[in-house]
Amino acid sequence: MVAATSGAVINGLGSTFLCRGGKSSRRLLSGVGVRTAGASTAGPRKMVVVAAAQAKKSWLPGVRGGGNFVDPEWLDGSLPGDYGFDPLGLGKDPAFLKWYREAELIHGRWAMAAVVGIFIGQAWSGIPWFEAGADPGAIAPFSFGTLLGTQLILMGWVESKRWVDFFNPDSQSVEWATPWSRTAENFANATGDQGYPGGKFFDPLGLAGTIKDGVYIPDVEKLERLKVAEIKHARIAMLAMLTFYFEAGQGKTPLGALGL
């Protein structure tokens, strides 16, 4: 009587032999026969087909060594846009990793908005972006006091809600947390992922989901694809803003650098 357990198969799924092997991994993935106690040798066999874990992407794909500098063990590739880049080890602590991802996402979104605003603002008014604060009326019909008040009140309210929601998810989707109760549901997290609220308010075009009978239904496949696209564009925008700062230090503007 021969008994084979599936535990041996499951235990081997995370091994480098299975994930990185060539012919050997294909043999393992072709199927595993499981024979239960008391079953005859001529009886039917149960086939267990397992899939190999997707290999982690690397920011230096041509380098195999390097240890944690090239392939940090604390980054498993599950985060959108995770290519194992953490040379300073900032994400070793899972709590810090979650916070740094939130910070990267928010700063990236602001950077994308800023890059667009810098180009459009200067093209519209002719005033360099680093001088626009001295004369906000040239770009928009607002005085400096109005602009500052809007920043402190509206931005402060939104950012404070985001801050609280980060530490206490879904705490801001209740009536008392909003100045008007009818919009309470708009602040609920429709996707279940931190930093990606979705819903009718944050995804009105339905890019990552659909609205059926007034209920937002996220599309997991679209959402994951858009997460990667967003973080890539966000990182490029942050690098662009860093370049703009260096240019501003020399009295130059992005449009001027492009000869426009």
Half-sphere exposure of 23 (CA within 13 A, CB side): 0
β-bridge partners, 239: none
Q: What are the CA-CA distances from residue 156 to residues 84, 95, 120, 153, 189 (Å)?
A: 34, 24, 25, 5, 20
**Residue 42 phi, psi (nearest 5):** -90, -5
Q: In the block, which residue shows the tokens 């700062």?
A: 245
Q: Which long-range contacts (CB under 8 A, 24 or more apart) does 239-243 make?
A: 240/111, 240/115, 241/111, 241/114, 241/115
Could you tell me whether strands 46-48 and 32-34 are parallel, antiparallel, or unpaired per DSSP bridges? antiparallel
Residues 70, 55: Cα–Cα separation, whole Å: 14
Torsion sign (Cα): 197, 200, 201, 206: positive
What element of type H or E holds 112?
A: helix 94-125
β-bridge partners, 46: 34
Q: Is 150 exposed, middle or buried (0-12, 13-18, 19+ CB in 10 A)?
A: exposed
Q: Mark the binding-site residues for chlorophyll b, compressed into ranges.
A: 107, 109
Q: Mark the binding-site residues, compressed into ranges.
A: 104, 107, 109, 230, 235
CB 119 within 8 A of CB 255: yes
Q: Mark the binding-site residues for chlorophyll a, compressed into ranges.
A: 104, 230, 235
